[in-house]
Structure 1
């Protein structure tokens, strides 16, 4: 069960609205929703919570890049909405590195034949050649570049100037969004959309 909401800061306090994520496929889609809810390009917080598993906070301040915090990256990685938040940059990966590696592997053929050409055994070659020492395939399988770390990831100070310290954010588990809203002075408005 997911819950998602937007909190937009105004000069009169916070305004809350629930958020339908059915049409959200990318982080850009989520940013568009946040910016549409913004009043005078002020701060907007997007909350996403999967019951008892993980929560995420995305902060958008005007046209600046979004700031993201996810409470448990490995749990979020198993969620379609969590995957939206776990960008290559947040995970410390080169953007689309796996696509480049796959393309290079397709181009390189270690025995000099192209896919489908006879390999001297009387048949077409369909299997992947054994990795040669020093190639990308020879990387230790324990060093999985696609592995997602367990635990929190992102910007710990995302809410520090709004009333919630890094330490407080790290201690949140269940009902995290209620506690965050309470620290921001927005508990009542969040409760109206919950």
Structure 2
């Protein structure tokens, strides 16, 4: 399976900004190592965004803004753990460790322990099957640029094609044409 990578930076703030590609070798490494490479690619404190995809498995976004820490989001941390980029995702907080992650209807984070009240439920009614959240990192990393966390979470949980997911993100941020030209 193939990887697709692109590194972009906006040429200005706001809705009318355009994005330019940057030639950066995205070697596997720690977030700090990749952040240094991204920061070194621009002369100012502009945001730099790396888009990574593993065909049919996952997508990831890596962002740095000047001297700020690098931020990472990966749609499927389990699948990405077996990739060449595994060191980048190794220490990211998972969905269950992340404050504000989706919760089940009773307000807890999916604790499967049986409560005494559960024993009297109708045994004929099947329990709904809910896919476990497998994303990791910072779902807010591009919210200020126009892609809310809810969109990243939906795209990571939907089982969507990673390239379709990154195109949707790119459309919201305004670089879909640039991204498609790199494919």
TM-score range, shorter-chain basis? 0.5 to 0.7
Match of 1:85 in 2: 88
Sort the Cα spacing of 1:89 and 1:76 in 2 relative to 1 into closer, same or farther, 3 A: closer
Alignment of 1:172-183 (within 5 A): 172=155, 173-174=160-161, 175=163, 176-183=165-172
Larger gyration radius, structure 1 or structure 2? 1
1:28 matched to 2:32? The reply is yes
Gaps of 5+ in 2: 98-131
CA–CA distance in 1 between the matches of 2:142 and 2:38? 16
- TM-score norm. by structure 2 comes to 0.66
Deviates more, 1:40-49 or 1:3-12: 3-12
The equivalent of 2:4 in structure 1 is: 3
1:62 and 2:66 equivalent?
A: yes
Distance, in Å, in 1 between the alignment partners of 2:22 and 2:169 is 16
RMSD: 2.1
Is the helix fraction higher in 1 or 2? 1
Q: Any conservation in 1 of the 2:29–2:88 contact (CA below 8 Å)? A: no
**Secondary structure class of the residue paired with 2:151:** helix
Q: Structure 1: which 4+ aligned runs deviate by more than 4 Å?
A: none
Return the offset for 1:192: 2.2
Give CA-to-partner distance per residue, 1:7-49, whole Å, 9 cap, x none.
Answer: 112225211246543x443333321221123352110111111
Alignment of 1:1-194 (within 5 A): 1-11=2-12, 13-17=18-22, 19-21=24-26, 23-81=27-85, 83-88=86-91, 90=93, 151-172=134-155, 173-174=160-161, 175=163, 176-194=165-183
Q: Distance in 2 between matches of 1:40 and 1:17?
A: 14
Aligned residues: 136
TM-score by length of 1: 0.62
In structure 2, distance between residues paired with 1:152 and 1:68: 11
Contact 2:35–2:63 (Cα < 8 Å) also in 1: no
* CA distance in 2 between partners of 1:68 and 1:179 (Å): 18
Contact 1:18 1:193 in 2 (8 A): no
Compute the displacement of 1:150 (Å).
Answer: 5.7
1:70-94 CA-to-partner distances (Å, cap 9, x unmatched) read: 101100101121x1222435367xx
Question: Does the aligned pair in 2 maintain the 1:8–1:39 contact within 8 Å?
Answer: no
